[in-house]
Amino acid sequence: MQIERTMGLGILARTTGLRAGLGCALLLCAGGCSTIRDHRGYLVDPALTQSVLPGVDNRLSVERSLGQPTMKSQFGQQSWYYISLDTAQRPFARPRIYAGSIMRVAFDPAGTVSDVSRGGVERALRIDPDAHKTPTLGRDRSFFEDLFGNIGTVGALPGGTPGQGGAGGGRPGGTGPNGS
């Protein structure tokens, strides 16, 4: 009878230890499933962003007070964009934007600030690039043609005759960039 009780206590101790180990493993796994919060882009300082005034500031003064912009316009009226985004990312997922601001500083042709506008991320567009191939001019070559396409063409002269040797033999009128 005493032996049976001792064995029963040993089994009970093992199952309790197993349950405790499983509980700790579950807590560790659940801790790894937390959401990661991050800030991307420009760090907004309200005092500095409010100090940019149309008609008063120019490109140099804006750059000195706010720093380099996140993005500059490429076409049309010269504008600088200061973009600030707060993101949250769940495990195994892409980051999602939950807050943010966009400040646009527009300049006239003389380089003076003509307009300052502020908005949220609702003004931003999400652009998904096309996953297909981009068409280009020229031949459509396979992987192996790209890999082995130059075999036999190294050292060959366009329009040259065999026996000239090198890149024109050092004579003027060769095929090099400077005529050698």
Residue 48, Cα to own-chain centre: how many angstroms?
Answer: 27
Do 14 and 50 belong together in one domain? no
Q: Are strands 96-107 and 79-89 parallel, antiparallel or unpaired?
A: antiparallel
Residue 80's CATH number: 3.30.1450
Q: Is the residue at 2 inside a domain?
A: yes
Cite the DSSP H helix spans in the chain.
Answer: 2-31, 46-50, 59-66, 143-148
Supply the pTM of this predicted model. Answer: 0.54
Q: Which domain holds residue 50?
A: 35-123
Which among 62, 31, 66 has a CA at the least distance from the CA of 46? Answer: 66
User: Would you give the DSSP letter of residue 123?
Assistant: G
> Does residue 80 lie within any of the structural domains?
yes
Distance of alpha carbon 89 from alpha carbon 10, whole angstroms: 45
171 in a structural domain: no
pLDDT in tens, the chain (180 residues): 555 555 555 555 566 666 766 666 666 555 567 888 998 888 888 888 899 999 999 999 999 999 999 999 988 889 999 999 999 998 888 888 888 899 999 999 999 999 999 988 787 677 777 777 776 777 777 888 878 877 777 666 666 555 554 444 444 555 555 555
Instruction: Count structural domains, the chain.
Output: 2
Question: φ and ψ at 99, to 5 degrees?
Answer: -160, 160
